[in-house]
Structure 1
Amino acid sequence: MAYGPDAALGGETALRRYGLDGDWAAEPVWLDLPHHRRVRRQPGIVIRRCRDLDGRLLGSREPPIVRLEVALLTVASRRPTTDAALALILDACRQRRTTPRRLLEELDRLRNLPRRRAITQVLRDANAGVESWLELVYLERVERAHGLPTASRQIVASVGGATVRRDCLYDPYGVIVELDGRTGHADVASQWRDMARDNAAAVDAMVTLRFGYQLAGDPCAAAAQVAAVLTHRGWPGHPTPCSPTCTVRAEGLGSPTARKRRIALPSSSRAD
């Protein structure tokens, strides 16, 4: 390997070698080197010097390579936005290539990692069942930001003999929230599966609300819809406006007249 036997594959090159799904370019090659090394730069190679490289390697692999969790966290920390960083981490967990617990353990050793606080929080949420960036948006910007009750997440259910997972379940009120990014919901078979799941929920007297990526652009509209349905189904609480311009109102959800008015949702705020 270039730069000698103490160089290790790192960054995007390591993720590509591990087979993690993603748009990983073959070049440049990312190499991690011991911090004391001083080397001449070469075209097509990106060097990153580490103080504890030996403690980051995966066993005695040849060529040397950093652990998947190290590569994932360092690549995520270099993403241009925090949302992009968190989406990458959640996607790796969704692919079952690693776990939130293993990433949290690795994070304890990377004390100076950029965006460490945000990554720690999303890994704790992932440990509680959040599996995608869209689910994270719903948890943070809809549920928590507007004082909605806490849903159970990734609940296993049986539909027609098949096992399915419900993204968010407000079990005391029979309300389900499904969060549909394009991945896993774009083909016809997946759409039929989603329809069967929603119909089965209706048979069990449960209401399903379904949101896509428009959720990120207008989380307040989604919160108003979820709060209205929860109130109609017996939730005794009140949503909390997240800002002075929030379209959610804490007052007026309790009466039957207000419930009906809230449930008559405007077409501009319906999920596609």
Structure 2
Amino acid sequence: MHERKAIPKSLMDLGRAQSGIVTTTQITQTGLSRHTVRRLVDDRIWTKLDRGLYLLHSGAPSWLSYVHAGLALAGPDSYTTTDTAAALHGLTTQRQLPIHVAISDRRGVQSRAWLQIHRPTQLPSRLVHSGPARPPIHDVVLDMCAASTPGDVAGWIYDAVGSSKTTPAILLATLGERGRIANRDLIYSTLLDVRDGINSHLEYDFLHRVERPHGLPPMTRQFVVPETGRRADGAYEEFRLLIELDGEQWHTGQQVFRDRERDNRHSAIGWRSMRFGRRDIHGNPCGVARDVATDIGSGGWAGKMKRCARCP
């Protein structure tokens, strides 16, 4: 029986830093022979993941193991992109295969079932190397917007800005530095909306289904009531009217009680509140516009609601 050679600590430390993945080059640099590597695989102590790639245990590779494997296989200057980079930045919780990796030249790296190789024509100005290499978050947000259907563009922007991972100003500046990019006009207009206070799908829909098509005056978004310090989704301050846009998750339970308590407190000091949910904004935007126009009209608004293409 052959004497088992100890695995160098430096190799084990490197493997831990790379989620269990090491390359043949990294292995031989520590003095282990190819014969020893074959024996470790045959004895099911290590796992051969791909050509020149080994997992320093016999269990299933984790998602991060595949990320490190993809970068190692793609070679120097490669980086994660699109879905994989978005997951690494925490823009999505979906950690799935294939791993998306970009390379900057025509080296002969081919995609696998678990790995999708990209060869972009425009490279990021810099990369983030705290963890697996990836573009900065503002570049990744724009990449995801460009790769998405128009209906998903706003979601990527809302999530990134709402979680304070980036800002509309940074995204607008980055967009201005880009060459051709899919969905550019939609990305630009959405960023302007977010810069002006829109930070959810429902607020976006209120703006584009209710406010603008019906000629209502623009409300102040993310309005803080001076007397209470409480924030409302919007306000027609001149007419003492607060607008609250509630997602379906806020329609039951303790949140309903808190909303009612807040509305009552505002009513006691002269602020009226109107609440609309997704069903209102999507199912009856013209009726919502009519209700708002009637309320602010009674408060002195001199304008007149317009009829939109949906109005009966």
TM-score band (shorter)? 0.7 to 0.9
Q: CA deviation at 1:137?
A: 0.8
Q: Does the CA contact (< 8 Å) of 1:7 and 1:31 recur in 2?
A: yes
Q: Does the CA contact (< 8 Å) of 1:33 and 1:53 recur in 2?
A: no
SS in 2 for 1:53: coil
CA radius of gyration, larger in:
2
1:14 to 85, 90, 107: 85
Equivalent-residue separation in structure 1 for 2:166 and 2:78 (angstroms): 24
Q: CA deviation at 1:94?
A: 1.1
2:186 to 118, 126, 146: 118
How much is the aligned-residue C-alpha RMSD, in angstroms?
2.1
What is the TM-score normalised by the length of structure 1? 0.81
Select between 217-226 and 148-157 the one with higher mean Cα deviation: 217-226
Q: Does the CA contact (< 8 Å) of 2:100 and 2:118 recur in 1?
A: yes
1:150 to 208, 218, 237: 218
SS in 1 for 2:223: strand
What is the TM-score normalised by the length of structure 2? 0.71
Q: 1:222–1:51: structure 2 CA closer, same or farther, 3 Å change rule?
A: same
Equivalent-residue separation in structure 2 for 1:186 and 1:114 (angstroms): 37
Q: Does the CA contact (< 8 Å) of 2:124 and 2:139 recur in 1?
A: no
Q: 1:113–1:35: structure 2 CA closer, same or farther, 3 Å change rule?
A: farther
SS in 2 for 1:108: helix
2:277 to 196, 212, 217: 212
Q: 1:148–1:38: structure 2 CA closer, same or farther, 3 Å change rule?
A: farther
1:128 to 185, 192, 196: 196
Q: 1:54–1:232: structure 2 CA closer, same or farther, 3 Å change rule?
A: closer
Q: CA deviation at 1:120?
A: 0.5
Q: Kindly provide the amino acid, as one letter, of the partner of residue 63 in structure 1.
A: P
Show the counterpart of 1:33: 103
Q: Does the CA contact (< 8 Å) of 1:35 and 1:51 recur in 2?
A: no
1:79 to 128, 148, 158: 148
2:297 to 231, 252, 266: 231
Equivalent-residue separation in structure 1 for 2:210 and 2:269 (angstroms): 26
SS in 1 for 2:88: helix
| TM superposition outliers: structure 1 runs of 4+ over 6 Å | none
Verify: 1:43 aligned to 2:113, yes or no.
Answer: yes
Equivalent-residue separation in structure 1 for 2:79 and 2:260 (angstroms): 48
Q: CA deviation at 1:121?
A: 0.7
Structure 1 unpaired stretches of 5+: 248-272
Verify: 1:164 aligned to 2:205, yes or no.
Answer: no
Any residues of structure 2 matched to 1:241-260 within 5 Å, and which?
241-243=307-309, 245-247=310-312
Verify: 1:67 aligned to 2:136, yes or no.
Answer: yes
Equivalent-residue separation in structure 2 for 1:87 and 1:13 (angstroms): 17
Equivalent-residue separation in structure 2 for 1:129 and 1:86 (angstroms): 13
Equivalent-residue separation in structure 2 for 1:5 and 1:190 (angstroms): 52
Q: Does the CA contact (< 8 Å) of 2:222 and 2:231 recur in 1?
A: yes
Number of aligned positions between the proteins: 240
1:4 to 45, 61, 75: 75
- The percent of aligned pairs where both chains have the same amino acid is 30
Q: C-alpha offsets along residues 31-62 of structure 1, whole Å, 9 cap, x if unaligned?
A: 1221544531111222222234251423x445
Structure 2 unpaired stretches of 5+: 1-70
Q: CA deviation at 1:111?
A: 2.7
